[in-house]
Each structure stands twice: as structure tokens, then as C-alpha cells.
């Protein structure tokens, strides 16, 4: 098992290195630099700015300099906001992104998705099952930005129940969390339902029922872990997507000062140091999460455990 | 000397007396004031439907405002964009200030000033009683009450500001190490030696590596000379400036934040990360020392929180400022307009072009919306060094084929004014009566194209049946997309195929500034009220000249006009320069801008003005 974990960590580090290197060269090859502005800077000022951030050095030297500092967790100052260190900006903004992401996925989507998935499986082919499955179809079909726009229009513009933008109170969280969790509720429901249906047909479940155990005990004690296996696998994909895609959109939509919103700004402004800081941070977090998911999968599924050992 | 104002300063919004400023150009405000004086209910309470969104006066008196996108730096001397300047002017003390009309000069650090008979020596007599200030503590803004509470010492008063601080601050701007974008403004006011200094900097930038040390030495020598000879401080409260020749933008231009006073010890302190490129850490609330009428209490990426320095001599009965200011920074015009409509913003002067749909829809229907002429030109640049655009007649044909009326109506929301020449109407005597310029004339454009084809055929550059094609590069902004598509449509009428190339902003800026384009659309706002503010776009060697176009006669006329103080002569020379510019057809004027302001009726001190400058020392919430 230890060998397996070390192996997974090694691959995780390789993934982080590759992602960071790829993005480093990609963003420097992209046309336009951080000091190419609408209102041009005097040439000497531009040259000084570039020298200040080492952008006048050959690409290979810049890359080595970046790697040397990155392993120490130092990405230097942001190019666009040079009064702040990249790591400090990440520290300031990450809590909002993490809060919205974690509350949406683990606080709302996972709870509602698992419960509705179990209910749908237990009521297989009954009216309630059809209702839940139909609901999930609608949820999957409507994109986040449509849901978000409709919610903003209805709850912020028309009825002014929730604030339109910003962060700070529970009310500020309601709409962003709703928009982000809706898609995941629907997918989690479908994965849980599918997994549970499969497990509920297993002989050991039939045997447990035959022994006279009440249905809730059968579900909680025997069926649940097996039924959640597909969902667990999906989480390994969903979490990266959550932080790499959904948060960017929702933070933009509700003007949340999270890291996703800043990532888009950093790319647009060619804030190389900020881009690299966020990419490395996301890569590390997501690799770590993937490793945790893989390990928990082996813990839940004895077959996987055997394979990994 | 450190004067502390108590261990716990509590700033809550207070009513600011009854000083009634005039919001000229804003319908209804006079009536409101008069009604209030007579004890009647103000119009906005009686007829709230005449205003855009909520008009309930907020409980607190913290001014909530937005001037546009994010501020890059809060260092006043690093000022670059119009939306940054209100904050820079608020935080940095300058010798003079502009009133809300952006014309009347008010005393700032200088209480009076005089020029020598020949106009080349300016003496500024400084006021006593201006001190440096820091902010100690934590500022908490309560959105519901619109109040700002300070936990901690609050605004702390430090030592007095003197002429030595002015000299240091200007020297900092002039020093190339400070990387100040507006450094050339010293050349533009004709500071003695500044022109030679700028030329030396250019030579140093362009010099080969082995020649750089010698070039830099010359730069340093010239800087030392300027600092010893051109800027003098005979005593702690006098500053003397020596100019090469009289300047028509002196002393008015001294309000510009690049001339603000900064605190030497704070600015020069070594902060962590400086060797890796970090800068401006001195502007962080915990580090900063400010000279202006406000201090920075807090800053997030979207919001700047300022608190008034109550003991500043700047404040008068007419200009009491606001106890605190919350400045939102966003380029999302719809979001800002929505905030205004909800009553979460008191004043919104938007840099959005064109203004959003909600604003256009309300045009003429609400009293708190003002659309006013703005000294801004929207124009196209045609690359005179590429393809068919090398031919002057082709460029002129393009200029005549632009249906500006249609463009203003369809693309710019019907708000801008059609521009056939460069300098906006009403600008420094540039009113009607020009005998040159472009108007939409398809017949003339087609005739010019035929002449151009004949000339190009003769030169072997064109064969009958060849496709005449140019590419327009534009950014992913709706108005630029619309403009590019309109351009494509207009050019089709004269047989030119236009290829559309949509680009990201930074990539677009790179290509624009390096001259890698056939055609681009651009926009330019005036820095000062002299025609030179426009000529920099076409002057040989100027870094704002994207076209890299060069004409020695134009340069001569423009420079001469800028140097003469005789208004009639200057106008004559400027018009001659503009005529050359129009004849060459490299710069194609399209429209003159309109600025949009949404100001709640209970706000005073923000007036529509031509350069679209708005200052926080004027603005305040007033309850009659």
C-alpha cells in the first residue's frame, strides 16, 4: 500500500511539473505581454519594467529561475499588482473559492445528490424515480450561465432578495452556491442511482433483506458503500472541473473575489507570475485530491486494494 | 512631530452642513436645492420616478462611487488612466487643484503663484499646515448603514510637508528608475532641460549594449542639472520652476497627479521582494504615508476605501470633501449601473463605451443621467507603409467612405458626435469653420479609388481584377466588433475587401504599438487643453504615434503652435498642422466622445465637464 501511495505521489509531482512547464512556455509564447497596454508606455519605462521582472532574459533562464523559486513556493510579485506577492494574493482569494466550491459540492450537491439517488434507486421505475430522473435531465441540459443569469434576473433584479454581487454574508453565498451545486446535484444523483441499482441486485443484499433487516439498515450497512463506488470515481474528475471551470464562471458572474476570477484576469493581463502561481497551486491541490480519491477507492473496494498491493 | 487623534477614532457619517454646490448641466438639481431651502420636499422624494432607480438618501454619508476599471497602482506618480486619477488626486497633494468644472484653478499646496515677465520662471508660494498622514487601524464599512467605522488610531498626523518634499517628488518622477509613464509631462510644460533629458533617455534606450553606460551617464548628468538648476527651493515654502519657454498649460497642468508629493522615507524604504520586481508596496494601507486630503484605509481588488484627513487645510466650506469614500472598480458597466439603480452607488462616471443599454434607454427620461461632450476622439489608423494603404488616395477614399452618421447611430448608441477632423469642436478655439476634413461622400471616395487604381497600375502594384484587401484588427469588445463589421460594410462600397481579425486585448496592443496592422480603431482622451494633446498621436518619434507616420512640416507647425502663447497664431498653426494630418489620411477621425454620468440628486460637487475630470475633494452627499 505504501509503495502504491509513493507511486501515486510521484506521478502527481510529474503531473504538476508537466502542467507548470507547459503553461510557462504557452503563456510566454502567447502574443502580447504584460506591458503591452492600450496606452503605450514610454519605451524606456517598458524596458525597465521588463528588466525588473526578468522578462528581458532568455526564455531558458526565465524557466530555470521560475523552477528554482517555485519549488520553494515563491512565485515572486504579481506583475500587474507588483505591491503584492503572488502567494499573498492566492492566500487572500483562495478561501472564497474553496468555500464556494466545498459548500457547493460537499455541503449541498453531495448530500442532496446521494439522498435523491438512493431514493430514486429504491423507488426504481416508480413515479418518484421518473420525477427525479426527469429533474436530473433538465439540470444537466441547462448550462450554469443560463441558470445563473435567470437566478440573477429573478432574485436580484426583479425581487431583490439576494445581493447581486460581492461576498461577506450568508446571503451573498446563496446564489453562487445554488448555481454551482445544481449541475453536481444532478450528476451525483444519476451516479448514486446507477450504483445503488447495481448493488441492490446483488445476492448479499437479497440475503440481508431475506433475514428480515429493515430496508434503511440494508442500505446504510450493506449497499451504500458499494453503491457509491461510481460516484467516488466521478468525484476524481468532478473536483478538478469544479475548481478549473465552474468556479471561474460563477466568480465572474457574481463578482466574487476568488482565485478563479483572478485567474481569468491574470491570463488576460499576461500576469505571468500570477498565472504560474495559480496553475501550480491548482495542480498541487488537484493532484493531491486525485491521490486521496484513488487511495479511498482502494480502501472501499477490496478488489482495487488487492490490485494495488 | 507626531500628533495622534486619540486611541480610538470612530468615523461615522455625519451631515455635512448646507453648502449647496451647483451641479451645472444636471436638470432639476437647482429646483431641488431651492425646494429644500424653502422647507419643501425635494423633487426626488416627491417624484422618484423621474430618477434612475433608488433615490433614498443613504443613512450614512460615505460617498460610494465608481469611475471605471481597476486601478493598477495607487502611487499618484504612476497615474496612467483617467479612472485612476480621482484616487491619485485624493491621496497626493499637488500645488494646485481643479474645481469641479475642471477649469477653475484652486489653491492646493500652493496658496499663490506668479510667473516672471517673460513667462519662463514660475514661483509657487506654499501653504503652511499641510502634514503627512498615515492610517493606523482597521476600517470597517457597513453597507447597510453606509458608515465607516475605524478601529484603532485612524488618521495619524505626521510632520509638515515642505518644498523639499516637492523637489524630491519631482526628482523621483524624472528619474528613469521610477518608471513613471507620465514623466514626459515635464518636457511638455517646457521645464528647462527636460527636452534634452528625454532625448538622452531615448538615446540610452536605443543604444547598443557597449554604449549604454556612456548614454546612461549623460542621462544622470542631465537629471542632476535639472534638479539643481531648473527646480529650486529657496526656502521651505517656496518652489521655483525654470522653463525653456513660456508654457500655455502652466500652471493649470500642475494639478496632474504625476506632480503630487510623495513621502521619501516611505517610498525609499526597502520592502520584502523588491529585488524580485516587487514595487509600490509603499502604497499598501499598512505602509503608506499620504500627502493628500484623504488616506487609504483599505484596499481590495474591487474596492478602495478612503478616509478624509480632517485637519488638512484643503477643506473649506465650499469643498468639505466626504468623511469617507468607497470607490468601486469594475469594467463591468452593467454591474455598476445595476448597483447605481439599486441605490448602492451615489455617483457613477463610466468609462464604458458605448454606455450600456439601460443607460441609452433612459436617455432624456431621468434627471440624474447626464450625457455630455467629452474631449475624446475615436479614430482609425491606417498603416501608410503596408499594401494598398501606401497610396494616399486609397487612404483618403477610405476616410470619405466612412458613413459616420450611420456609425454613430448604429455602433456608438447614437450618443457620440460625428467627427470629420481631429481636434474636437469647442476645443481651444477649434469651433466650426474648418475648410478641410472628412465627411461621408461615397462618390468622392469612389473617384479617389479610381485615381488610386490608375496610379497603382502605372506603378505596377495593381492589375485590373485584383482584389484590394486590407485587414482590420480589433479587440473582443462588442463596440469594436460592431465597428469592424461596419467598416467592412463601408469598404465594400468602394471595392475594398476587409478581413476581420479579432484579437485579445494584449495581443492587439502589441500589434498596435509595434505598427503590425493595416487598420485599427483607437480612442484618445485629452491630457490637457492644448491641441498638442492630440498631435502626440502623429508626432515623429512619439511613442503614442502608432502609425509611425512622419512629416517634418507637421512636426514643425505642431511644436510651434504649442510654444506660442498668442492664441490666434496658435490656432492658425494648429489648423495648418491638422490640415496636413487630414490630407495624408493616415488618421481617420470617426467621432468625438460623449461621457455618461449617473449622479444621485443628493450628491454635490460632480459636474459634467469637457475633459471628464472628477475629483473626490469636490464630491459629497448633502442633505439639505
For the stretch B383-403, pLDDT in tens is 999 999 999 999 999 999 999
Question: Mutate which of B204, B337, B513 to disrupt the A interface (most A C-beta within 10 Å)?
Answer: B513
Asked whether the beta carbons of B351 and B614 are under 8 A apart, the reply is: no
Band of residue B436 on the pLDDT scale cut at 50, 70, 90? confident
Alpha-carbon span A114 to B82, nearest angstrom: 53
Q: What is the pLDDT of residue B14?
A: 28
Alpha-carbon span B137 to B152, nearest angstrom: 4
> Pick the residue with more confidence: B307 or B302?
B307
Angle at B511 between CA B535 and CA B438, to 5 degrees: 40
Band of residue B432 on the pLDDT scale cut at 50, 70, 90? low
Instruction: Locate the chain B residue with the closest alpha carbon to A50.
Output: B277
Band of residue B37 on the pLDDT scale cut at 50, 70, 90? low
Angle at A292 between CA A288 and CA A297, to 5 degrees: 150
Res B511 pLDDT > 50? yes
Res B15 pLDDT > 60? no
Q: Please, what is the angle between helix A229-241 and helix A272-300, to 10°? A: 180
Chain A residues in contact with B339 (beta carbon < 8 A): 164-165
Percent helix / strand / coil, chain B, rounded to 5? 35, 25, 45
Chain A residues in contact with B204 (beta carbon < 8 A): 44
Return the SS3 of A120. Answer: helix
Res B6 pLDDT > 70? no
Q: What is the pLDDT of residue B430?
A: 66
Beta-sheet pairing, B231-235 with B110-115: unpaired
Summarize the confidence of residues B157-171 as an average pLDDT: 98
pLDDT in tens, B276-295: 778 889 999 999 999 999 99
Q: What is the pLDDT of residue B544?
A: 92
Res B161 pLDDT > 80? yes
Summarize the confidence of residues A278-285 as an average pLDDT: 90
Alpha-carbon span A39 to A35, nearest angstrom: 10
Res B562 pLDDT > 60? yes
Among candidates B73, B302, B342 on the partner chain, residue whose Cβ is nearest the Cβ of A257: B302
Measured CA to CA in angstroms, residue B156 lies from B55, B107, B123 at distances of 35, 24, 31
Interface contact B511, partner A, CB < 8 A: yes
Band of residue B28 on the pLDDT scale cut at 50, 70, 90? very low
Q: What is the pLDDT of residue B429?
A: 60
Angle at A97 between CA A93 and CA A102, to 5 degrees: 145
Res B339 pLDDT > 50? yes
Chain B residues in contact with A85 (beta carbon < 8 A): 272-273, 278
Alpha-carbon span B111 to B127, nearest angstrom: 6
Among candidates B179, B278, B510 on the partner chain, residue whose Cβ is nearest the Cβ of A32: B510
Instruction: Work out the mean pLDDT of chain A and round it to a whole number.
Output: 88
Interface contact B56, partner A, CB < 8 A: no
Number of residues written out for chain B: 624
pLDDT in tens, B69-111: 889 899 999 998 889 999 999 999 999 999 999 889 999 999 9
Res A301 pLDDT > 80? no
Alpha-carbon span A103 to B539, nearest angstrom: 58
Which range (A91-105, A225-239, B176-190, B535-549) has the least confidence? A225-239
Summarize the confidence of residues A68-79 as an average pLDDT: 91
pLDDT in tens, B203-224: 999 999 899 999 999 999 999 9
The pairs formed by A101-106 with CB atoms below 8 angstroms and a separation of 24 or more are A101/A180, A101/A242, A101/A243, A101/A246, A101/A247, A103/A173, A103/A177, A103/A181, A104/A176, A104/A177, A104/A180, A104/A181, A104/A184, A104/A242, A104/A246, A105/A180, A105/A181, A105/A184, A105/A238, A105/A239, A105/A242
Instruction: Locate the chain B residue with the closest alpha carbon to A169.
Output: B143
Q: Do the Cβ atoms of A255 and B335 come within 8 Å?
A: yes
Q: What is the pLDDT of residue B16?
A: 28
CA B178 remoteness from chain centre: 21
Among candidates B201, B206, B338 on the partner chain, residue whose Cβ is nearest the Cβ of A164: B338
Return the SS3 of A226. Answer: helix
Nearest partner of B531 among B573, B498, B476, judged by Cα: B573
Instruction: Locate the chain A residue with the closest alpha carbon to B143.
Output: A168
Alpha-carbon span B55 to B343, nearest angstrom: 7
Q: What proportion of chain B, given as a percentage, has pLDDT over 70?
A: 91
Chain B residues in contact with A257 (beta carbon < 8 A): 300-302
Among candidates A33, A157, A255 on the partner chain, residue whose Cβ is nearest the Cβ of B302: A255
Interface contact A135, partner B, CB < 8 A: no
Interface contact B273, partner A, CB < 8 A: yes
Q: What is the pLDDT of residue B364?
A: 80
Res A225 pLDDT > 90? no
Among candidates A30, A42, A79 on the partner chain, residue whose Cβ is nearest the Cβ of B543: A42
B-facing residues of A in 242-301 (CB < 8 A) are 255, 257, 262, 268-270
Summarize the confidence of residues A253-273 as an average pLDDT: 89
Q: What is the pLDDT of residue B266?
A: 96
A-facing residues of B in 536-595 (CB < 8 A) are 543-544, 546
Phi then psi dihedrals of residue B183, to 5 deg: -50, -40
Residue B443's CB: how many other CB atoms inside 10 A?
A: 8
Q: What is the pLDDT of residue B425?
A: 75
DSSP, res B288: -
Instruction: Work out the mean pLDDT of chain B and round it to a whole number.
Output: 88
Res A238 pLDDT > 50? yes
Alpha-carbon span A102 to B181, nearest angstrom: 43
Count how many Cα atoms sit within 13 Å of the Cα of residue A202 in the half-sphere of its side chain: 16
Q: What proportion of chain B, given as a percentage, has pLDDT over 90?
A: 65
Asked whether the beta carbons of B234 and B240 are under 8 A apart, the reply is: yes
Q: Do the Cβ atoms of A32 and B301 come within 8 Å?
A: no
Interface contact A34, partner B, CB < 8 A: yes
Asked whether the beta carbons of B126 and B155 are under 8 A apart, the reply is: no
Chain A residues in contact with B548 (beta carbon < 8 A): none
Instruction: Locate the chain B residue with the closest alpha carbon to A39.
Output: B544
Burial of A106 from C-beta contacts in 10 A (0-12 / 13-18 / 19+)? middle
Among candidates A52, A165, A257 on the partner chain, residue whose Cβ is nearest the Cβ of B277: A52
Nearest partner of B345 among B583, B141, B86, B65, judged by Cα: B65
Among candidates B184, B273, B503 on the partner chain, residue whose Cβ is nearest the Cβ of A76: B273
First-to-last alpha carbon distance for chain B, in angstroms, is 39
Alpha-carbon span B117 to B246, nearest angstrom: 10
Nearest partner of B360 among B183, B32, B596, judged by Cα: B596
Summarize the confidence of residues B140-160 as an average pLDDT: 94
Measured CA to CA in angstroms, residue B421 lies from A239, B519, B548 at distances of 57, 18, 20
Beta-sheet pairing, B289-290 with B238-242: unpaired
Q: What is the pLDDT of residue A56?
A: 92
Q: Which strands, in side-by-side order, build the sheet including B289-290?
A: B147-160, B131-142, B289-290
DSSP one-letter string for A33-69:
-TT--SSPPPHHHHHHHHHHTTTTS-HHHHHHHHHHH
Amino acid at each position: 500500500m505504501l509503495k502504491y501511495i509513493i507511486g501515486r505521489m510521484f506521478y502527481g509531482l510529474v503531473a504538476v511539473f508537466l502542467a507548470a512547464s507547459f503553461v510557462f512556455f504557452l503563456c510566454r509564447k502567447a502574443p502580447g505581454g504584460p506591458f503591452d497596454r492600450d496606452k503605450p508606455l514610454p519605451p524606456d519605462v517598458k524596458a525597465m519594467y521588463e528588466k525588473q521582472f526578468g522578462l528581458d532574459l532568455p526564455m531558458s533562464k526565465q524557466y530555470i529561475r521560475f523552477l528554482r523559486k517555485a519549488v520553494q513556493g515563491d512565485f515572486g510579485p504579481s506583475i500587474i499588482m507588483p505591491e503584492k506577492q503572488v502567494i499573498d494574493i492566492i492566500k487572500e482569494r483562495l478561501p472564497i473559492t474553496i468555500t464556494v466550491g466545498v459548500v457547493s459540492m460537499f455541503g449541498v450537491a453531495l448530500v442532496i445528490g446521494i439522498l435523491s439517488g438512493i431514493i430514486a434507486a429504491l423507488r426504481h421505475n416508480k413515479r418518484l424515480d421518473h420525477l427525479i430522473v426527469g429533474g436530473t435531465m433538465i439540470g444537466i441540459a441547462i448550462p450554469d450561465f443560463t441558470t445563473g443569469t435567470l437566478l440573477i434576473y429573478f432574485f436580484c433584479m426583479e425581487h431583490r432578495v439576494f445581493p447581486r454581487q460581492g461576498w461577506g454574508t450568508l446571503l451573498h453565498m446563496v446564489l453562487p452556491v445554488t448555481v454551482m451545486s445544481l449541475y453536481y446535484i444532478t450528476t451525483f444523483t444519476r451516479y448514486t442511482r446507477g450504483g445503488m441499482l447495481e448493488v441492490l441486485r446483488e445476492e448479499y443484499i437479497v440475503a440481508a433483506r431475506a433475514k428480515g433487516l429493515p430496508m434503511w439498515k440494508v442500505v446504510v450497512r450493506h449497499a451504500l458503500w458499494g453503491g457509491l463506488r461510481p460516484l467516488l470515481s466521478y468525484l476524481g474528475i468532478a473536483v478538478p472541473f469544479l475548481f478549473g471551470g465552474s468556479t471561474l464562471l460563477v466568480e465572474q458572474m457574481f463578482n466574487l473575489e476568488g482565485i478563479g476570477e483572478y485567474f481569468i484576469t491574470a491570463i488576460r493581463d499576461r500576469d505571468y507570475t500570477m498565472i504560474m502561481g495559480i496553475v501550480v497551486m491548482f495542480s498541487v491541490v488537484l493532484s493531491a485530491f486525485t491521490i486521496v480519491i484513488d487511495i479511498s477507492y482502494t480502501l472501499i473496494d477490496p478488489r482495487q486494494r488487492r490490485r494495488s498491493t | 512631530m507626531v500628533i495622534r487623534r486619540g486611541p480610538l477614532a470612530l468615523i461615522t457619517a455625519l451631515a455635512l452642513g448646507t453648502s449647496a454646490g451647483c451641479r451645472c448641466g444636471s436638470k432639476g438639481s437647482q429646483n431641488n436645492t431651492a425646494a429644500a431651502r424653502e422647507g419643501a420636499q425635494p423633487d426626488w422624494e416627491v417624484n422618484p420616478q423621474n430618477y434612475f432607480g433608488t433615490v433614498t438618501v443613504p443613512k450614512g454619508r460615505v460617498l460610494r462611487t465608481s469611475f471605471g476599471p481597476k486601478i493598477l497602482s495607487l502611487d499618484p506618480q504612476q497615474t496612467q488612466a483617467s479612472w485612476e486619477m480621482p484616487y491619485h488626486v485624493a491621496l497626493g497633494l499637488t500645488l494646485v487643484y481643479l474645481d469641479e468644472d475642471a477649469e477653475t484653478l484652486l489653491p492646493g499646496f500652493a496658496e499663490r503663484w506668479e510667473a516672471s515677465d517673460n513667462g519662463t520662471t514660475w514661483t509657487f508660494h506654499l501653504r503652511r499646515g499641510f502634514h503627512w498622514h498615515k492610517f493606523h487601524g482597521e476600517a470597517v464599512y457597513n453597507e447597510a448603514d453606509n458608515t465607516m467605522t475605524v478601529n484603532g488610531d485612524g488618521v495619524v498626523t505626521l510632520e509638515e510637508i515642505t518644498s523639499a518634499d516637492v523637489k524630491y517628488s519631482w526628482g523621483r518622477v524624472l528619474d528613469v528608475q521610477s518608471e513613471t509613464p507620465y514623466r514626459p509631462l515635464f518636457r511638455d510644460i517646457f521645464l528647462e532641460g527636460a527636452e534634452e533629458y528625454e532625448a538622452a533617455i531615448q538615446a540610452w534606450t536605443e543604444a547598443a549594449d557597449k554604449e549604454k553606460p556612456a548614454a546612461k551617464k549623460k542621462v544622470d548628468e542631465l537629471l542632476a542639472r535639472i534638479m539643481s538648476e531648473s527646480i529650486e527651493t529657496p526656502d521651505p515654502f517656496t518652489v521655483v520652476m525654470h522653463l525653456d519657454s513660456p508654457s500655455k498649460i502652466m500652471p493649470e497642468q500642475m494639478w496632474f497627479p504625476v506632480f503630487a508629493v510623495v513621502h521619501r522615507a516611505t517610498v525609499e524604504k526597502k520592502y520584502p521582494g523588491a529585488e524580485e520586481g516587487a514595487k509600490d508596496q509603499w502604497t499598501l494601507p499598512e505602509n503608506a504615508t499620504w500627502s493628500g486630503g484623504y488616506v487609504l484605509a483599505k484596499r481590495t481588488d474591487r474596492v478602495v476605501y478612503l478616509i478624509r484627513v480632517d485637519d488638512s487645510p484643503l477643506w473649506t466650506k465650499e469643498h468639505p470633501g466626504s468623511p469617507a469614500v468607497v470607490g468601486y472598480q469594475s469594467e463591468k458597466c452593467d454591474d455598476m449601473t445595476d448597483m447605481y439603480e439599486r441605490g448602492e452607488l451615489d455617483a457613477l462616471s463610466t468609462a464604458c463605451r458605448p454606455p450600456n443599454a439601460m443607460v441609452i434607454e433612459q436617455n432624456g427620461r431621468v434627471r440624474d443621467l447626464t450625457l455630455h461632450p467629452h474631449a475624446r476622439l475615436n479614430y482609425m489608423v491606417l498603416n501608410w507603409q503596408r499594401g494598398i494603404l501606401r497610396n494616399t488616395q486609397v487612404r483618403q477614399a477610405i476616410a470619405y467612405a466612412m458613413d459616420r452618421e450611420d456609425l454613430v447611430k448604429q455602433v456608438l448608441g447614437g450618443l457620440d458626435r460625428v467627427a470629420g477632423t481631429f481636434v474636437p469642436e469647442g476645443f481651444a478655439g477649434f469651433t466650426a469653420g474648418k475648410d478641410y476634413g472628412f465627411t461621408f461622400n461615397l462618390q468622392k471616395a469612389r473617384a479617389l479609388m479610381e485615381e488610386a487604381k490608375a496610379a497603382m497600375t502605372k506603378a505596377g502594384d495593381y492589375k485590373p481584377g485584383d482584389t484590394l484587401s486590407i485587414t482590420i484588427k480589433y479587440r473582443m469588445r462588442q463596440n469594436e466588433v460592431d465597428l469592424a463589421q461596419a467598416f467592412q460594410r463601408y469598404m465594400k462600397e468602394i471595392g475594398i475587401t476587409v478581413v476581420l481579425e479579432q484579437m485579445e486585448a494584449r495581443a492587439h496592443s502589441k500589434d498596435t504599438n509595434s505598427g503590425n496592422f493595416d487598420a485599427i480603431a483607437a480612442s484618445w482622451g485629452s491630457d490637457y487643453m492644448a491641441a498638442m494633446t492630440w498631435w502626440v498621436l502623429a508626432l515623429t518619434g512619439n511613442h503614442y504615434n502608432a502609425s509611425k507616420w512622419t512629416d517634418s512640416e507637421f512636426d514643425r507647425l505642431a511644436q510651434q503652435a504649442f510654444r506660442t502663447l498668442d492664441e490666434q497664431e496658435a490656432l492658425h498653426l494648429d489648423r495648418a498642422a491638422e490640415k496636413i494630418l487630414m490630407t495624408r489620411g493616415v488618421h481617420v477621425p470617426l467621432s468625438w466622445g460623449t461621457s455618461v454620468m449617473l449622479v444621485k440628486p443628493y450628491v454635490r460637487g460632480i459636474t459634467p465637464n469637457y475633459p471628464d475630470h472628477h475629483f473626490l475633494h469636490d464630491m459629497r452627499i448633502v442633505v439639505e
